[in-house]
Amino acid sequence: MDGTVLQKTTQADTQREAVIRVRNLTNQFGPQVVHQHLDLDVWRGEVLGIVGGSGTGKSVLLRTIVGLNKPTAGSIEVLGVDVLNGPEQERRRIEQRWGVAFQDGALFSSLTVLQNVIAPLREHTGMSESLMCALGSLKISLVGLPQLSCGKFPSELSGGMRKRAALARALAMDPEIVFLDEPTAGLDPIGAAAYDDLIGELQNALGLTVFMVTHDLDSLYAICDRIAVLAEKRVLVEGPIEEMTKVDHPWVQEYFTGPRARAAQEKGQSR
């Protein structure tokens, strides 16, 4: 299958800085092998979309990179630090330089939205409460939530608002890398498009690197610079979306040339 892997080793590659470097990753749960010899690079400042069928281990990959799942074998470097075997202190520091927004928000249910957002600030910085609140309000407003939601509890928010609040919390420490797990799943098309715009805007303004697990073809066309397809227990192909349609693999073909993909493509071009 090696012929299907798009080799994009151009000159640009050597100038790009890999903020995440996954090598030879193997994940196995009991008899079930999820990843085998998986390699992946994420470049600074790009929006990388991870796609793949159900059960191909997209979320497992995300969880493995941020250290929530210990892989069976392989190495992972984030911002030049070995997150699996590096010194504890360095790994702790790295955790402040990334933000993770989970699929269902995973907001702390006993804290208000504002308290959720400033929780990392309270833990890691010595700011005064008023500055934390001001920065928290700013993040909440940046993700497009009204100030009214600051004092609300997660259970009082709609699903879409919870996702936005989760993003605000992920952005609290102004991370360099943001991990998003299905950020637009379950949002209405207008909300999803607004969320895409938001990610694109934040990425431009803050120079974020975004690692996004998604199934939303609109998102893939609208904001992803590059796409990595997980299949056959590894990254089957990676590259810009235009190149995906040329890949000779049944799943990839079906995914990127199906009716939904064509509609999304037209929409993406008209933007």
Partner 1 sequence: MTRPTVNLNHDAEGISILVSGELLTQTLSSIEAAFTSFTPTGNKVVVDLSDVQAMDTSGAWLVADLTRRVQKAGGEIDLHGASPAYSDLIATVSKSIPDDPVTEIHHRSFGDWVESVGKRTAGGWKDTLSMLDFLGLTLHRLGRTLLNPRRLRRAALVSQMEEVGFKAIPIVALMGFLIGVVLAFQGATQLKQFGAEIFVVELISISVLRELGILLTAIIVAGRSGSAFTASIGSMKVQEEIDAMRTLGLDPIEVLVIPRVVALLIMLPILGFISDISALIGGGLMSWIDLDVSPGMFATRLKENTGIWQFAIGMIKAPFFALVIGVIACWQALQVKGSAQSVGQRTTSSVVQSIFMVIALDALFSIFFSVMGV
Which stretches of the chain bind partner 1, using CB under 8 A?
96, 109-110, 112, 114-115, 121, 124-131, 133-142, 147, 150-151, 153-156, 171-174, 201, 205-207
Separation of alpha carbons 2 and 193, rounded Å: 35
In whole angstroms, how close is the CB of 178 to partner 1 at the nearest point? 13
Of 132 and 241, nearer to partner 1 (C-beta) is 132
Q: Identify which of residues 27 and 203 has a Cβ nearer to partner 1 in the complex.
A: 203
For 133-141, which contacts have Cβ atoms below 8 Å and span 24 or more sequence positions? 135/172, 136/168, 136/172, 139/168, 139/169, 139/171, 139/172, 140/113, 140/114, 140/165, 140/168
CB of 89 to partner 1, least distance (A): 14
CB of 222 to partner 1, least distance (A): 19
Secondary structure (3-state) at 137: helix
Q: Who's near 136: CB < 8 A, 6+ residues apart?
A: 114, 117, 118, 121, 150, 168, 172
Q: Tell me the closest approach of the beta carbon of residue 266 to partner 1, in angstroms.
A: 30
Q: How far is the CB of 140 from partner 1 (least distance, A)?
A: 8
DSSP 2: G
Place of tokens 């470049």: 43
Cβ nearer to partner 1, comparing 1 with 131: 131
117 contacts: CB under 8 Å, gap ≥ 6: 136, 139, 140, 165, 168, 169, 172
Q: Which is nearer to partner 1, 110 or 257 (CB)?
A: 110
Nearer to partner 1, 141 or 257 (CB): 141
Residue 104 identity? D
